Structure 1
Amino acid sequence: MAHEGGRARFHRLRVAAVDRLTDDSVALTLAVPPELREAYRFAPGQHLALRRTVDGAEIRRTYSICSTAPAHEAPSSLRVGVRLVDDGAFSTYAHKEIAAGDELEVMTPAGRFTLDPCPAADTAATDTDAATGSAPTPAPTPVSGHYAAVVGGSGITPVLSIAGTLLERAPDARFCLIRSDRSTASTMFLEEVADLKDRYPDRFQLVTVLSREEQQAGLASGRLDEERLTALLPALLPMERVAGWYLCGPYGLVQSAERALRALGVRRERVHEEIFHVDDGGPTRDRGAAPAPAHSTVTAQLDGRSGSWAVEDGESLLEAVLRNRPDAPYACKGGVCGTCRAFLVSGSVRMDRNFALEAEETEAGYVLACQSHPTTEKVELDFDR
């Protein structure tokens, strides 16, 4: 993935198609012009932030890329799924107003909920990296073995890209998709998932659970809770041979799946999570931190330039930086997407929520600027690391 200056940036992309998936979801196909294709090269599982301005207020929302990552060339198009949210400022716009031919402001790909390692294409790397002019990155280790995902609702979107890319590039790999939806009519990307099953009948396993509709065959309806998953997963898969688990969807489902995997002895480093929906009252992951000081200052390194600014009472570090550097990276401001990830150089912070960073990242010193509040008089962040 190549970003100008090493960081995600917005460009205007033309909408090539708007496809209705269900009554409350659409897929947007975005055309990428040749001069921007390297900037939009993506890893399977990454997302795009879309931006619009309404009555002087900027609205950003993140949507995962569902396309299979091209094996050789940078992408000429990108496809994202958008589910309608009650009173959603952007999703309502996407469903009612966006049409083919429109232009949208689209951030270059971001996110770390990715296929790791991503199997290399079957041709040699080019002599140099087109975006940086540097020597090419060595090809990732070939991927084989079992991979699996537990998804709910629109959580299928990034996993569709992960599964499609893995199966296309790694002929020895297998993928098991366990998906939960309310009903058949509400299930996104039915045709695309069916196509994977048709193309890879021996290597792609699909298990569907509907919470509000009985199926003629397959599993009984109902929610996929921890108890059910703990019993189901070993019956479907050789647990010890699954190299990577991808959990994506609403907070409750992801947490249930995580607890089930922990109970089944799966190592933490094999589990990757992305939360799509978190209620405002959702739990925090940083409790017991020191209270905020009376006065505090944040110093931020961003695109090679540094500045120091006062943090106003109740303000997050991201908000303080944005007042002075509007180009600071962010998308959701909800602790979910990870776009505002920064390295904590000095000082200490309290994070209200963290649904984006892995434990290894927080242990290494990374924080979400949108959720971080200072607990020392001086805090220094580095957005460039």
Structure 2
Amino acid sequence: MFHPLRVRAIERITDDAVAVTFAVPAELRETFRHTPGQHLNVRYTVDGEEIRRSYSICAPAAEAPAEPVLRVGIRMVDGGAFSTYALKELAVGDEVQAMAPMGRFVLRPRPGLFAAVVGGSGITPVLSIAATLLSREPLARFCLIRSDRTAASTMFLDEVADLKDRYPDRFQLVTALSREEQSAGLPSGRLDRERLTGLLPALLPVADVDGWFLCGPFGLVRGAESALRALGVERTRIHQEIFHVDDGSAAPATARVASPSDSTLTATLHGRSGSWPVKDAESLLETVLRSRSDAPYACKGGVCGTCRAFLVSGEVRMDRNFALEPEETGAGFVLACQSHPLTPEVELDFDR
């Protein structure tokens, strides 16, 4: 369900990125109270076309009765309809439709040592995670390893510097620039698997980290995951969220198999069920959307996880999956935007 939110503030944070803050009406405060690491799904109509996008909340999570702060970071993406609009036309006072915060890339504050490897705009949810953790839990420590192209392109420089000043004994910051030398810190270059495998043990006791949070482009996240696994980190301690998947950079999650020509989808959504024929080559999300415009989705690329649904019966194939953990797929969850039927009858439940 979408709710109208007005833009309270827009701040230019780099040449190609802005931070947008939304005002939360009193009656929606509990609806929009987020867990650190969650994102907002927003929609807006541009030139008669509805556009949906997912943006992570960068502000610390506010506890009741304080008003939740909904601040998201938006970076310009080549050909990105909403990001272009946000940077060039969106203004204070404009109304945007948004769903309640969602997402499972989260950390509820608790004692321990936590670390993150982020690239570019991947800093956005991790900023909320680190700031909330350090302010609420005095026995927590956080190590942030971030990669950016140049200092000028680095998002939320001031906010990260503030964390370093406020928690000098509990917050460790390591920066790497891929296209620019810096006077202090790591030599320039990408943080790939080989480099991280050697770097991480030199920075912190890898085995003692209670949770790793990887966020950013596909290559960086997969490289960091591979490095951590090579260092003996259990997969259950690794949490990841991919922001960008370049064309050709990732293979489909499963091999393509022809779908039955007369499949029928039954889906439950918001307590109501319906059945519809699946048209040739369309995803199960597209099947539902033909009759139910309230079906949840944002990116339609297998990245955000908004269209997550439980497979009640039947079999499906997913073209690709960058949002669901192995435990989720093992428990029967699928991404409707990437799923196609393999059996004549398929049933999904979006309410689980």
* Bucket of the pairwise TM-score, normalised by the shorter protein: over 0.9
CA contact (8 A) 1:348 1:376 kept: yes
Alignment partner of 1:32 is 2:49: no
Corresponding residue of 2:15: 23
Length-normalised TM-score, structure 1: 0.90
| TM alignment of 1:315-330, pairs within 5 A | 315-330=282-297
Q: Does 1:360 align with 2:327?
A: yes
Distance (whole Å) between structure 2 residues aligned to residue 320 and residue 55 of structure 1: 25
Q: Per the alignment, in what secondary structure is the counterpart of residue 200 of structure 2?
A: helix
Q: C-alpha offsets along residues 284-319 of structure 1, whole Å, 9 cap, x if unaligned?
A: 453246421111111001111100001100100000
Question: Is 1:266 the equivalent of 2:212?
Answer: no
TM-score by length of 2: 0.98
Partner of 2:58: 66
1:375–1:284: structure 2 CA closer, same or farther, 3 Å change rule?
farther
Q: 2:242 aligns with which of 275, 281, 302?
A: 275
Report the 3-state secondary structure (helix = DSSP H, G, I; strand = E; otherwise coil) of the residue aligned with 1:197. helix
Match of 2:299 among 332, 346, 361: 332
1:179 is matched with which residue? 146
Q: Deviations along 1:13-45, whole A, 9 cap, x unmatched? A: 111110000000000010101000111011100
- Report the CA distance shift for 1:89/1:288 in structure 2 as closer, same or farther (over 3 A): closer
- Give how far 1:50 is off: 1.4
Alignment map for 1:48-63 (pairs within 5 Å): 48-63=40-55
Matches of 2:161 and 2:36 in 1, distance apart?
19
Matched, 1:44 2:65: no
* 2:191–2:220 CA contact under 8 A, matched in 1: yes
**Mean alpha-carbon deviation: is it higher for 20-29 or for 92-101?**
92-101
- How many residues were matched structurally? 352
Question: Does structure 1 residue 82 correspond to structure 2 residue 74?
Answer: yes
- Which runs of at least 4 in structure 1 moved beyond 6 Å after TM superposition? none
Q: 1:92 — aligned with what?
A: 84
How far apart are residue 356 of structure 1 and its match?
0.3
Q: Distance in 1 between matches of 2:125 and 2:200?
A: 21
Of all paired residues, the percent bearing the same amino acid is 72
Structure 2 CA distance, aligned partners of 1:283 and 1:350?
16
- SS state of the match for residue 186, structure 1? coil
Could you say which residue in structure 1 is the equivalent of 2:222?
Answer: 255
Q: Equivalent residue for 2:115?
A: 148
* Distance in 2 separating the partners of 1:145 and 1:108: 29
Q: Which residue of 2 aligns with 1:225?
A: 192
How far has the Cα of 1:239 moved from its partner? 1.2
- How far, CA to CA, are the matches of 2:64 and 2:266 in structure 1? 40
Q: Distance in 1 between matches of 2:199 and 2:126?
A: 20
Q: Residue type of the partner of 1:332?
A: C
Tell me which of 233, 236, 245 is aligned to 2:212. 245
SS of 1:148's partner is: strand
Question: How far 1:107 sits from its partner (Å)?
Answer: 1.5
Structure 1 segments unaligned to the other structure (5+ residues): 1-8, 120-142
Residues 341-380 of structure 1, C-alpha deviation per residue, up to 9 Å, x if partnerless?
Answer: 0000000111011000001000000000000011111100
Deviation at 1:188, TM superposition (A): 0.1
Partner of residue 106 from structure 2, selected from 100, 103, 114: 114
| 2:213 aligned partner, one-letter code | Y
